[in-house]
Each structure stands twice: as C-alpha cells, then as structure tokens.
Amino acid sequence: MAAVDLSTELCGIKLRNPTVLASGILGTSNALLQMVAGAGVGAVTTKSISLDPMPGHNNPITVGFEAGLLNAVGYSNPGLHAAIEEFKNLEGMGVPVIASVIGRGVGEFIKVVEGLWSQGFAAIEISLSCPHTPGFGMMAGQSNPHYTRQVVAAVRRVTSIPIFVKLSPETPDIAKVAVAAEEAGADGITAVNTMGPGMVINIEARQPVLGFKMGGVSGPALRPIAVRCVYEIYKAVRIPIIGTGGVSTGRHAIEMLMAGATAVGIGTAVCISGLDVFSAVCREMEEWMEANNVSSVQELIGTAHELYPE
Ligand SMILES: Cc1cc2nc3c(=O)[nH]c(=O)nc-3n(C[C@H](O)[C@H](O)[C@H](O)COP(=O)(O)O)c2cc1C
C-alpha cells in the first residue's frame, strides 16, 4: 500500500499532520514555538494572551497524579503588548500558529484580537473555558451559549482570520455551546479545556498541593470525556474540531478523529513525555492506518458515527 497521507485541513489552514500543540504548554515565546515546530507537530498554539500582564497563581502551579495533571497556572503571561513584540516574526515557523486569547469581558477580547490578528497568525483561539482563574473562563461564567455567542459575534466583527472557540467539558450541553459559537461566526471549535477544578492534598503537610489549592484536570483522566464532547459537537455543527484531552498515542489520536475531530491537540503528554510525542503519535497513526488499509486522515474523521447512526 502507498504511504499514508497524514495531512489535514482546518477551515482552509493546511496541516502536514493532525497534531496541534495545545495552549499553555511551551507556547510562551517564538523560540519555543519554533522548537515544537521542529519536533514535527502539525500546528502550534500560543500560551493564552490577555490584555494586561498577569502574574498567575502562586507556586506550585502543577501537580501530577496517577491519571494526569492538575494545573492552576492562572494564565500567567506578559500581556498583549509584549505578545505583539514576541510574536512579530512568525514567517519562519514552518507550521501554522494559532494565537490563544483570553479576556475578562467582551471588550477585552476585542482589544486583544484587534492587537494580534494581523500579525501573521493562522487563526485566533478564544478560550472561554479555564476552570481556575478568577475573572476568566468558568469562574466568570463564560462557558455557556449566551456568553459564547456574544464574544464570538464581537470578535468576528474585528478580524477576518479564522476563529476557533475553546470549550469547557464542564457544561450541561456542550453541543449547544458549540452551536452558539458556529451561529455567531466561529470557524472551528477546540474541545476541550481542562475539567474540574480538582484537588490533590499532601497528607503529610495536611494541605492542598497547589498554591491556588485547586486546578484543572488534564491527561488520561480527561480523555474519555474529551472524546465524548467531540462526538457530541460533531453531531451538532459543521465546522471543524480540534479534539484535545489526554491524547498521548497514535491510537488516541485516531479515536479523536473517529469521534469527529479534524485535528488533535496535545498538551499534558508533552509535559510528561517531551517533544518526541508528536513524531511518535504520527508514526503510530501511520502504522495503524497501514495495517487497517486507511490511506488518509479524511477517511477517519467522524467514522465512529457511521456504523450505528442514531
Ligand atoms: C500546564 C497547563 C497549562 C495550560 N494553559 C492553558 C492556557 O493558557 N490556555 C488554554 O486555553 N488552555 C490551557 N491549558 C489546557 C490545555 O490547552 C488543554 O486544553 C488541556 O490540558 C487538555 O489537553 P491535554 O490533556 O492534552 O493536556 C493548559 C493545560 C496545562 C496542563
């Protein structure tokens, strides 16, 4: 059989393979993004960018447990103006770069997107879903259809590049939130952000490990929930999905594609296994596809819906 084709396309953005560096992992500088691009990833996402600099939560900001990671980074980032300076030369990156944007309200989202979108980013990702930062995401009630519609419609008016909306798994009906995003003009969905928040207690110290006490759960514990979210969103919208949550092998990536993802975000697995995870996932995908007579990623997307349609 001829070599398999791992390339995929997200609303006109061509990716050499479906792997995408998830936001918040190594995406703080141009040099780090370049390093990830060199490791064979299909596209990269920046750390989330806010209007003003944010110091983040007190250390420790991450803790491992048997089924993944808990993080309460608190969106530490140097703010819009520093990001404009840092990411001013994206041409040499070799892979599409997605800018992740956060805001305390519609006005802040607009200002950050206005400042960033013409810098050469392939897309903007609007993060409405962080579970552990006061003023943002779930702690500000941003994870619902009404707010999603408001933000996406406002941002749609100020940029012509593709908009992805990053959703939380902690919502009663994630498909409804995705539909609101699509109707307001989003070009794609990223599903999902971390779940929770959860807590890990150091029983010797008799106190929570994280500085913020609680944090978002990612990695293996999140994967089946993320797969279910992608499955439900795929049934409800026509725009592409970056399926994110617990992916660390080629089999996991194929599972996400079958649920309905067009590309696959990877975060925690990079923290745990390093940058080789991208080439390993691609190699394992190729092996599985060859063994199963599948010649392209296109042939996998959404196939878990076909056998027993509802
Ligand atoms: C240490 C850490 C930092 C993160 N920071 C962000 C962030 O700044 N913005 C965001 O939208 N998501 C952030 N996330 C969420 C990830 O992008 C991803 O959606 C989530 O971790 C699930 O994928 P995973 O299981 O592959 O990590 C962060 C996750 C981790 C583990």
Please, what are the domains in the chain? 8-56+74-207+219-301 (3.20.20.70)
Grouped pLDDT means (10 residues each) for the chain, 310 residues: 88 97 95 96 98 96 97 95 94 95 96 95 94 84 90 97 97 96 98 96 98 97 98 98 98 98 98 97 98 97 84
List, in sequence order, every residue forming a beta bridge with 188; answer none if it has no partner. 164
CA-194 nearest atom, ligand 1: 20
pLDDT score at 143: 83
DSSP for residue 157? T
Query: CA–CA separation, 272 vs 63, rounded Å?
Result: 11
Residue 60 CB neighbours (<10 A) = 17
Under a CB-based contact definition with an 8 Å cutoff, are residues 232 and 302 in contact?
no
User: Distance, CA 308 to ligand 1 centroid (Å)?
Assistant: 33
Rounded distance, CA 199 to CA 201, Å? Answer: 7
Cβ neighbours around 57 below 10 Å, total: 21
State the residue for tokens 């600099």. Answer: 53
Handedness of CA 129, 28, 262, 154 (dihedral sign): positive
- d(CA 290, ligand 1 centre) in Å: 31
Q: How far is the CA of 309 from the centre of ligand 1 (A)?
A: 32
Greatest distance between any 2 Cα atoms in the chain: 59
Question: 73 CB under 6 A from ligand 1?
Answer: yes
Output the pLDDT for position 138.
Answer: 79
For residue range 120-139, list pLDDT tens digits in order: 999 999 999 888 888 888 78
Provide the token pair at 155: 């941002």
Would you say the CB of residue 72 lies under 6 angstroms from ligand 1?
no
pLDDT digits (tens, 9 = 90+) for 273-282: 999 999 999 9
**Residues known to be catalytic:** 130
Burial class (CB in 10 A: 0-12, 13-18, 19+), 1: exposed
* The pLDDT of residue 1: 52
Nearest to 57 by CA among 188, 203, 215, 290: 215
In angstroms and rounded to an integer, the radius of gyration of the C-alpha atoms of the chain is 18
- Is ligand 1 within 6 A of the CB of residue 47? yes
Ligand 1 within 6 A of CB of 17: no
**Ligand 1: centre distance to CA 192 (Å):** 9
Q: Alpha-carbon distance 147 to 228, whole Å?
A: 23
